[in-house]
């Protein structure tokens, strides 16, 4: 299945604005993030928390909503990785 990964701000500059990843059926959000980090090691520190691939200072959204590392992905999902906000 194919999943779209979007990155913003400093993450966009590190990983590109958008990429389509081909993943095996049943892959979880954690699997996807591990693949992203292995391609872009610079993201590891920001994305990883003490317990795994989510929990760092970054926010990860799945289809524009909050998500859990164990969430199982589906064809066409959109995953977004967001550094801490600084708007306003």
Partner 1 sequence: MAIEITDREFSIEDLVAGAKRPDAGAVVAFLGTVRDDGISGVEVEAYREVAEEELARIRDEAMATFDLKSVDVVHRVGSLGVGEAIVLIVATAPHRQAAFRGCEFVLEEIKRRAPIWKKEIRSDGGERWI
* Chain residues in the site for partner 1 (CB under 8 A): 6, 8-10, 12, 59, 61, 64, 80, 82-83, 85-88
Q: Which is nearer to partner 1, 11 or 27 (CB)?
A: 11
Of the pair 25, 47, the CB lying nearest partner 1 is at 47
Reference 60, options 42, 22, 33, 38; nearest CA is: 33
Distances (CA, A) of 28 to 4, 31, 86: 14, 5, 29
In the complex with partner 1, the residue whose CB is nearer, 13 or 74, is 13
């Amino acid at each position: 299945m194919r999943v779209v990964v979007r990155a913003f701000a400093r993450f966009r500059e590190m990983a590109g604005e958008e990429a389509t990843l081909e993943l095996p059926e049943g892959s979880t959000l954690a699997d996807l993030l591990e693949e992203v980090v292995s391609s872009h090691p610079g993201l590891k520190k920001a994305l990883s928390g003490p317990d795994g691939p989510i929990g760092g200072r970054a926010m990860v959204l799945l289809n524009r909503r909050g998500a859990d590392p164990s969430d199982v992905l589906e064809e066409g999902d959109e995953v977004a990785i967001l550094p801490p906000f600084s708007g306003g």
